[in-house]
Amino acid sequence: MTFVHSFAPIANAGANRLILGSMPGKASLQAQQYYAHKRNAFWPIMQELFNVDTDLEYEKRCSLLMQNGVAVWDVLKTCSRSSSLDSDIVESSIVTNNFVNFFSQYSKISVIFFNGAKAEQSFSRYVLPKLETKQQNIKRIKLLSTSPANAGKNFDEKLRNWQKVKNAVC
């Protein structure tokens, strides 16, 4: 069992959309970059939606996301798990990030997108009850996971589903 910590958010004052994962996987933790696994569809989808070239350095990709009003973070701040799989997260070990402060700091966020079911479930269970009423009312949308573990959906299916991020009225 490994105790893991998430990263600081990718966000700026212009953020109006928030994409939430559950917890970075091993490849991301080693690289200290969101969605670093070479088979994760996140960055290729961002390339299709926002012209964020996957060949750019990580910092530049993050900057381009922020220029498009997109923030990225994880629901969990820390947890224990034995692999990169969300199903291996030990529920009793979960500590969430501070979303009351986050939404106060980034008050333009009008929609939250969840990168998969575990992010949505963890947010609903552990975060939502702690939020202020206005924050609880931010629109929430679950998307297909971009993880390579979500092999039941191909890239085109994931991309079609993720069009919601680009088309969101913010």
Mean pLDDT, each 10-residue run in order, the chain (170 residues): 90 98 92 96 98 98 98 94 75 92 97 96 96 97 93 94 91
For 158, the 3-state DSSP assignment is helix
Length of the chain: 170
Give the model's pLDDT for residue 114: 98
Q: Output the pTM of the full model.
A: 0.95
Give yes or no for a contact between 94 and 121, defined as CB atoms under 8 angstroms apart.
Answer: no
Give the model's pLDDT for residue 130: 96
Tokens of 122: 């963890």
Give yes or no for a contact between 50 and 17, defined as CB atoms under 8 angstroms apart.
Answer: no
Domains of the chain (ranges plus CATH)?
2-164 (3.40.470.10)
Give the model's pLDDT for residue 141: 98
Give the model's pLDDT for residue 153: 92
